């Protein structure tokens, strides 16, 4: 297949590019390096040292003999993205090309608008370009389980049957997004569904859980091929961040009661899910939805798992409850379906102590790159970015002194 990866310089985009290239697909990546610039803006950086895209691509060709074609530009630029899609003629477009951060979207009005413009306007450009120049291409949009929120009923895979006033229909499941970022994903879903309906496009919406890890077979071929490892409050995912906090001696951060439950999956499973989706496209005119996650944990459960794994490598870390910077249910029902990808053949990697220990050892390798000031939350849903760290409300286990926790 000819596979175009939007956001191909990012955490999952880069890993996906290598994964598909190694499997003999013709791969091209699109990126404008917004993610790198946002980290400069926020004073943060990847724990792992990331090479420039030209160095990464040259290293991949040197190590494997395979070529990945780069297109540097912004999907908000209609002229740019329309010409990329027209000239490359992809069979599949994997869409990671969005700003992926709930906290970043809540900093202030300018950041909320920026996230909407990048994510919604960029996706509209992609849809129109597919319509005009590659109408048979399959769009694989990486959504998020956060689009659903935490309703007090089971969550289906995108659609559900409803009866109202004696009549039945199959409708999209209602979304209850938890941030302006998550709302952009909801808007994208609606726009993609509409485009499939009116133009006969084909698309899959992968509502992805929280991804952890950086180890892939391709990245392990050469240190220059390693992907991002973000742990800061804006872009870090929970398990990755907890592992960094353990190594840095910073108590693991739980918001409020810490019973918020989410679906999680290993980065290797993300790559396989995207591959299975690409290999089995839907019929023209259809947007299907897969819930892409493997295991669910409360944040508190995840913290205890990391705490225990850290002890196995000689690290003792506390768990701290912070005043919740978000507006969310801290205890809730959570039972989303996730059958479709398993039916297509997903054989998942389950979270284990040994896997977490391997992540912790990788963090130890780069511990000198940890920016301690970037971990404790200062972005709140009600007041935006603040100068003050969120206060600790409870400490579950004796660890670092409070003054060390704050900086």
Residue 236 in domain:
no
Range of the domain at 108: 2-216+266-295
Residue 400: the pLDDT is 37
Q: 95 Cβ partners below 8 Å, 6+ apart?
A: 6, 7, 123, 126, 139, 140, 141, 142
Among residues 44, 92, 123, 144, the one annotated as catalytic is: 144
Residue 386 in domain:
no
Q: Global pTM?
A: 0.96
Specify whether 181 is catalytic: yes
Residue 353: the pLDDT is 84
Percent of the chain with pLDDT over 90: 95
Q: By C-alpha distance, which of 135, 6, 150, 136 is closest to 80?
A: 6
Residue 354: the pLDDT is 83
φ and ψ at residue 239, rounded to 5 degrees: -70, -40
Among residues 34, 148, 150, 185, the one annotated as catalytic is: 185
Residue 391 in domain:
no
Residue 182 in domain:
yes
Residue 23 in domain:
yes
- C-alpha distances out from residue 326 to 181, 243, 329, Å: 13, 22, 9
Residue 397: the pLDDT is 65
Number of structural domains, the chain?
A: 1
Name residues of the chain where pLDDT drops below 70.
397-407
Helix runs in 257-368, H state only: 267-279, 299-312, 340-344, 353-365
Residue 31 in domain:
yes
Among residues 19, 181, 322, 334, the one annotated as catalytic is: 181
Q: CATH no. for residue 18?
A: 3.40.50.720
Residue 356 in domain:
no
Burial profile 134-155: b = 16 or more Cβ within 10 angstroms, e = fewer:
beebbbbbbbbbbbbbbbeeeb
How far apart (Å, rounded) are the C-alpha atoms in residues 128 and 205?
17
Residue 404: the pLDDT is 35
Specify whether 185 is catalytic: yes
């Amino acid at each position: 297949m000819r596979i175009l990866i939007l956001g191909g310089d990012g955490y999952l985009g880069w890993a996906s590019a290598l994964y598909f290239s190694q499997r003999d697909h013709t791969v091209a990546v699109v990126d404008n390096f917004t993610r790198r610039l946002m980290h400069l803006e926020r004073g943060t950086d990847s724990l792992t040292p990331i090479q420039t895209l030209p160095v990464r691509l040259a290293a991949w060709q040197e190590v494997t003999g395979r070529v990945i074609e780069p297109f540097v530009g912004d999907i908000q630029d209609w002229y740019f993205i329309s010409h990329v899609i027209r000239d490359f003629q992809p069979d599949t477009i994997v869409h990671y090309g969005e700003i992926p951060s709930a906290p970043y979207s809540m900093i202030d009005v300018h950041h909320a608008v920026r996230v909407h413009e990048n994510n919604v306007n960029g996706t509209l450009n992609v849809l129109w370009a597919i319509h005009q120049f590659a109408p048979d291409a399959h769009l694989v949009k990486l959504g998020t389980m956060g689009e659903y929120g935490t309703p007090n009923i089971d969550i289906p895979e995108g659609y559900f049957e409803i009866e109202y006033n004696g009549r039945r229909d199959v409708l999209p499941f209602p979304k209850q997004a938890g941030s302006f970022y998550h709302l952009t994903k909801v808007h994208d879903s609606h726009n993609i569904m509409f485009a499939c309906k009116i133009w006969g496009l084909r698309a899959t919406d992968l509502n992805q859980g929280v991804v952890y890890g950086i180890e892939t077979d391709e990245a392990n071929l050469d240190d220059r091929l390693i992907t991002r490892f973000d742990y800061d409050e804006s872009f870090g995912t929970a398990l990755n961040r907890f592992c960094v906090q353990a190594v840095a001696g910073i108590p693991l951060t739980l918001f409020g009661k810490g019973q918020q439950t989410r679906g999680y999956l290993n980065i290797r499973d993300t790559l396989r899910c995207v591959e299975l989706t690409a290999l089995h496209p839907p019929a023209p005119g259809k947007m299907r939805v897969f819930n892409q996650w493997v295991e669910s944990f409360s944040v508190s459960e995840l913290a205890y798992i990391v705490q225990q794994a850290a002890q196995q490598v000689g690290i003792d870390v506390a768990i701290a409850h912070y005043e919740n910077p978000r507006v969310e249910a801290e205890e809730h029902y959570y039972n989303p379906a996730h059958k479709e990808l398993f039916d297509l053949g997903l054989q998942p990697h389950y979270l284990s102590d040994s896997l977490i220990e391997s992540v912790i050892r990788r963090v130890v390798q780069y511990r000198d790159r940890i920016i301690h000031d970037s971990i404790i939350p200062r972005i709140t849903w009600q007041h935006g970015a603040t100068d003050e760290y969120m206060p600790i409300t409870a400490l579950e286990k004796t660890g670092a002194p409070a003054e060390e926790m704050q900086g």
